[in-house]
Structure 1
């Protein structure tokens, strides 16, 4: 029997119908074939774009993938290969999704019918803004387009650019620092006074001014942020992360600097940045990453696939042979759960794949299970990591 094509495997993976054996085959192909990995990412990215349409059109993407997989199975193997080699990968994936999603999956909305989600739900938009005088505003529950802080500054909730200060109200105002804190299970994005856009991940905070003055634009970060810095050659932008700093003029980059983690990681998407600590510095080019080991103070540079480190901004987690310990730290912040290893040997177990941040935790863990010898047992908000042969399928224990 011939092996399934990479497209068939991806279709089954997206539909959630892939078998453990085929999931392992898909994982091996993604790790050994860069073109297969590119195809996988671009199709999943296309699926993400269509997700917003799905909400309005009542499209069932899972059924669509199943329908696509069945249709491909009806073609001769040679015909499938020819179909997948015509045109670019992106065009093919978009065309396929349009062909198999839209014509067949429009559903008539049934009044009063809701699909309930059972399980541990993902995080969402949550943040607390603390002004310089200590007063706090819960931005999570605020639906107002204008928010007035305790010192009279006006904040505008922009649907595209997120929170920002109303520049027309800042004339003759002194520079004051505010702190935006995102709790575990949250995320938030906002715009600084100079037009720099900031995405803040779970369990992170940013201390920033209502306006910039002086020779430098400076903010202070704990946790993980992604920034698109507005270019201003006369006023360099400086991000402080503890005793370290990143200096930029105009660029897009991701900074991970959680106080409880050993490494500080800067990943450059576009432009140029310099990472500084008290002993050395490194200048990065696009596609490069600096890694500071806090224990040894060793600072290194390496080339990486930047999408793995920035995918959270667009709603996914991408993993390429990532150790399970790194994955569980990430998931624990997003889903507000704790992972417990029954045996420490699994902490370095690698996993390759892509999961959506809007999936339930059970769905994400199920995807990891299919390509590993690991099982997860959920008890309340604690997840126990067990050997596959010693554990049943994912189940929620009664308290």
Structure 2
């Protein structure tokens, strides 16, 4: 087996900025040729650097030596910006002297034409898409958005199919339990197939901690956020979804669990099959299909009621479905999916209620305009912030 070649960060930065000496170029070429992913990684770094964009979304999918490269690049770019700004200030000071001494007043008096200011292009707010970060057992992060454009990527028993937006765990024959965490950012979603064949759809701003293979008498995963589960039936090894407010236990069924810590409640909605819920305050409680269990933080007794399943799992079906839902709750969902911040200028507007179905992949302007037709509200988009105010 060939020895793994690591490369100095300085060489990568010099390659992007100035160029390399013959010896450095030779080392760079050797590193580049060793693994296709090295070429992909360097191309991403080069594009980010040339575009002068932040590197916060750039995560290494290579060896551990690369995991801190993002911060290094960011620091280098900041130093470059400071040098540029020092030169700008120096040249501006010189220009001011020239204008003042050499007839600068004539320049200002003769320039009667109004200054034309190019309108600033509004930042387009796009709907979410297939975005996920896999935190491997050894601490390495794999950002699937920055993987190669090839259809499949394999690492440590995990296969990522980027075209389909799926992460598949192939299972290992060893009995050692190792955990991965699938992290879905704002504006993201992804599908995961666990080692037992169970399929999971993950909504925006969600974390799912899972064993790479299921060992023992149960199949236990840990959830923060929202996920839809289609569990492979196994009577001898129940499937358990654990949250901070309790756990859902199943043997083979389809259901949705929503637990965002900031919302201080858990909702478990059963589509088919049967599930049980239990917590420190609640003995195991069975739920029938078409029903939803809702338990608020601090409550001793959950609420169980029939719901319209389609509305509860609309996000999985690429839709927003609201039924007499408060505008505040609706805007929280838009924040997560479109990766925006919403500010209510008048808190009373939060209580407006709305019913309707909207395409989750529509342009956000279309969705906001729809609300403006229904409510006595208007929306002002300022960068990545949406202000809600009265008309």
Q: 1:134 aligns with which of 139, 142, 160?
A: 139
Asked whether the equivalents of residues 201 and 225 of structure 1 are also in contact (C-alpha less than 8 Å), the reply is yes
SS in 1 for 2:263: coil
Separation in structure 2 between the aligned mates of residue 154 and residue 206 of structure 1, nearest angstrom: 15
Asked whether the equivalents of residues 265 and 291 of structure 1 are also in contact (C-alpha less than 8 Å), the reply is yes
Find out whether 1:359 has 2:346 as its counterpart.
no
SS in 1 for 2:316: helix
Asked whether the equivalents of residues 161 and 191 of structure 1 are also in contact (C-alpha less than 8 Å), the reply is no
Find out whether 1:346 has 2:346 as its counterpart.
no
Q: What corresponds to 2:187 in structure 1?
A: 185
RMSD: 2.0
Separation in structure 2 between the aligned mates of residue 322 and residue 264 of structure 1, nearest angstrom: 17
How far does residue 173 in structure 1 lie from its aligned partner after superposition? 5.5
Find out whether 1:306 has 2:309 as its counterpart.
yes
How far does residue 210 in structure 1 lie from its aligned partner after superposition? 1.2
Asked whether the equivalents of residues 374 and 387 of structure 1 are also in contact (C-alpha less than 8 Å), the reply is yes
Deviations 1:225-274 (A, max 9, x none): 11111111111000001141000111111111011112211111111111
SS in 1 for 2:261: coil
Separation in structure 2 between the aligned mates of residue 257 and residue 265 of structure 1, nearest angstrom: 7
Q: What corresponds to 1:163 in structure 2?
A: 167
Asked whether the equivalents of residues 119 and 361 of structure 1 are also in contact (C-alpha less than 8 Å), the reply is no
SS in 2 for 1:319: strand
How far does residue 164 in structure 1 lie from its aligned partner after superposition? 0.9
Separation in structure 2 between the aligned mates of residue 360 and residue 307 of structure 1, nearest angstrom: 22
SS in 2 for 1:132: coil
Summarize the alignment of residues 273-312 of structure 1 with structure 2, pairs less than 5 Å apart.
273-280=275-282, 281-312=284-315
Separation in structure 2 between the aligned mates of residue 154 and residue 236 of structure 1, nearest angstrom: 23
Q: What corresponds to 1:269 in structure 2?
A: 271
Name structure 1 gaps, 5 residues minimum.
1-116, 389-399
Asked whether the equivalents of residues 342 and 385 of structure 1 are also in contact (C-alpha less than 8 Å), the reply is yes
Asked whether the equivalents of residues 241 and 257 of structure 1 are also in contact (C-alpha less than 8 Å), the reply is yes
Q: What corresponds to 1:386 in structure 2?
A: 389
Separation in structure 2 between the aligned mates of residue 131 and residue 178 of structure 1, nearest angstrom: 5
Q: 2:126 aligns with which of 121, 128, 139?
A: 121
Q: Judging changes above 3 Å, is the alpha-carbon distance between structure 1 residues 159 and 233 closer, same or farther for their aligned structure 2 residues?
A: farther
| TM-score normalised to structure 1 length | 0.64
How far does residue 191 in structure 1 lie from its aligned partner after superposition? 0.3
Deviations 1:306-328 (A, max 9, x none): 11110111101101111111101
Asked whether the equivalents of residues 284 and 290 of structure 1 are also in contact (C-alpha less than 8 Å), the reply is yes
Q: Judging changes above 3 Å, is the alpha-carbon distance between structure 1 residues 346 and 156 closer, same or farther for their aligned structure 2 residues?
A: closer
SS in 2 for 1:140: helix
Separation in structure 1 between the aligned mates of residue 315 and residue 355 of structure 2, nearest angstrom: 16
How far does residue 140 in structure 1 lie from its aligned partner after superposition? 1.8
Separation in structure 1 between the aligned mates of residue 281 and residue 158 of structure 2, nearest angstrom: 41
Separation in structure 1 between the aligned mates of residue 162 and residue 272 of structure 2, nearest angstrom: 25
Summarize the alignment of residues 32-181 of structure 1 with structure 2, pairs less than 5 Å apart.
119-142=124-147, 143-149=149-155, 152-157=156-161, 162-167=166-171, 170-172=172-174, 174-181=176-183
Q: Judging changes above 3 Å, is the alpha-carbon distance between structure 1 residues 177 and 248 closer, same or farther for their aligned structure 2 residues?
A: same
Separation in structure 1 between the aligned mates of residue 204 and residue 161 of structure 2, nearest angstrom: 20
Q: After the TM superposition, which of the residue ranges 341-350 and 317-326 deviates more from structure 2?
A: 341-350
SS in 2 for 1:260: helix
How far does residue 335 in structure 1 lie from its aligned partner after superposition? 0.8
Q: Judging changes above 3 Å, is the alpha-carbon distance between structure 1 residues 307 and 238 closer, same or farther for their aligned structure 2 residues?
A: same
Q: What corresponds to 1:316 in structure 2?
A: 319
Q: What corresponds to 1:114 in structure 2?
A: none
Find out whether 1:240 has 2:246 as its counterpart.
no
Q: Judging changes above 3 Å, is the alpha-carbon distance between structure 1 residues 172 and 295 closer, same or farther for their aligned structure 2 residues?
A: closer
Name structure 2 gaps, 5 residues minimum.
1-121
Asked whether the equivalents of residues 131 and 184 of structure 2 are also in contact (C-alpha less than 8 Å), the reply is yes
Deviations 1:264-306 (A, max 9, x none): 1111111111121111143111110011111434411011001
Q: What corresponds to 1:391 in structure 2?
A: none
Q: What corresponds to 1:222 in structure 2?
A: 224
How many residue pairs get aligned? The number is: 269
Q: 2:201 aligns with which of 183, 199, 210?
A: 199
Find out whether 1:258 has 2:260 as its counterpart.
yes
Asked whether the equivalents of residues 262 and 294 of structure 1 are also in contact (C-alpha less than 8 Å), the reply is yes
Separation in structure 2 between the aligned mates of residue 165 and residue 385 of structure 1, nearest angstrom: 43
Separation in structure 1 between the aligned mates of residue 324 and residue 127 of structure 2, nearest angstrom: 23
SS in 1 for 2:174: coil
